Chain A
Amino acid sequence: MNVVIVGCGRVGAQLASLLDAEGHDVTVLDVDSYSFRRLPVGFGGTALVGDGTDEDTLKKAGVEGADAFVAVTQGDNRNVMSAQIAKHAFGVSRVLCRIYDPLRKDLYETLGLEAISPTAIFAQLLKEKLMTSS
């Protein structure tokens, strides 16, 4: 599978490394080349410096031939914008994005984006942990 990941933070780098280890073709984009230090030694994919909300940069990253696209930068709005570009301008069939704000996540799900809110999931997880250990 050809996968483009926007944002090489902890989650982006970890995901890139997992997919690469399974033999997928991975391209990671980040505005800061320093972020690529998080990629493991021997990472076989491509690391590209650039803005994931810029169409030309996304083209360079190979979004036109990508099977999947994941937006996991620190900004909800950047993720939403780059995911929508991938979906609507380039027609990538599987597009996932992280949206911290649960309300915004709900809205974009109704607009057809596949979004995950770590905030809601993590809060729920903490609550369950608290309840079971007492």
Chain B
Amino acid sequence: MYIIIVGGGSVGFYLCKELLNEGHEVLVIEKDARECECFGEELGSVCIRGDGCETATLAEAGASRADIFIATTNEDEDNLVACQVAKHKFDVPRTIAQINNPKNEAIFRRLGIDCLVSVTTLILEHIEEEIPTHSLIHLLTLRDEEMEIVEVRIPQGSAAIGKSIKELKLPPDSILSLVIRNGQRPQVPSMDTVLEVGDRFIALTATESEETLRLALAGS
């Protein structure tokens, strides 16, 4: 596949390296001359200097035969415009934009960018996972359905300890699909499953009910 990457920062660099290793044809577009040189030294001639939002640069890069176009600069507006130019001027079938401000996700989607990667959200999720006191962890977002798969840990002091699932006031659009209990195999919980400290529930929930679910299971 022919893949164009706009932005030669660390994401662009390692992405380029990875894709080259997988045997793809890759071209990086970077504004800064010094960054371009770094590519040349390590990866050969895979980087051209230029503005990835400019039609002329994308024409030079052969964007009309690109299969995938990835914009990964630190400026959201530049990523948006680069992807829109690639999509509408060069008919690139798949455009992917890095998003730095999570608020931009909805509008970028609406403006037709095929795939969005919100780096801030990703980093936050990973850090949350490393904070043991945090009772709810996002595992996966099902964007089209506006649902999430989350993990909820039952902390010390939770009001739900000792109660069975049918006694809890769970939001109707949340489903507890798996319970992982210390030293046991994961099980599908029943309405009679009684909650214990340290239980980990894997649940499917509507994004808007996430906080209600967390309070029902982990609230004190």
User: Residues on A close to B: CB < 8 A?
Assistant: 53-56, 75-78, 80-81, 84-85, 88-89, 101, 103-104, 107, 110-111
Contact = CB atoms under 8 A, between A and B. Distances in A.
Contact of A77 (B77, B88, B111): B77
Given A54-B101, A103-B54, A111-B84, A88 B110 contact: yes
Contact of B107 (A77, A88, A111): A88
Q: Which 6 A-B pairs have the closest CB atoms?
A: A77-B77, A81-B77, A77-B81, A103-B55, A78-B77, A77-B78
B63 to A, nearest CB: 13
Given A101-B54, A103-B54, A104-B53, A55 B107 contact: yes
Nearest to B51: A101
A107 B88 contact: yes
User: Among the interface residues A76, A78, A84, A110, which one has the most CB atoms of the partner chain B within 10 A?
Assistant: A84
Contacts of B125: none
Contacts of B55: 103-104, 107
Given A55-B107, A77-B53, A88-B111, A107 B89 contact: yes
Interface string B81-113: 100110011000000000001011011001100
Contact of B81 (A80, A85, A88, A110): A80
Interface in B33-60: 53-56
B85 A85 contact: no
Nearest to A57: B103
B76 interface: yes
A54 B54 contact: no
A85 B81 CA distance: 13
Contact of B103 (A56, A75, A107): A56
A75 B53 CA distance: 12
Nearest to A79: B77
Contacts of B75: 77
Nearest to A88: B110
B8 to A, nearest CB: 18
A107 B77 contact: no
B206 interface: no
Given A101-B54, A104-B53, A104-B54, A76 B107 contact: no
Contacts of B213: none
User: Among the interface residues B54, B81, B111, which one has the most CB atoms of the partner chain A within 10 A?
Assistant: B81
A104 B85 contact: yes
B81 A76 contact: yes
Contacts of A101: 54
B16 interface: no
A101 B54 CA distance: 8
B111 to A, nearest CB: 6
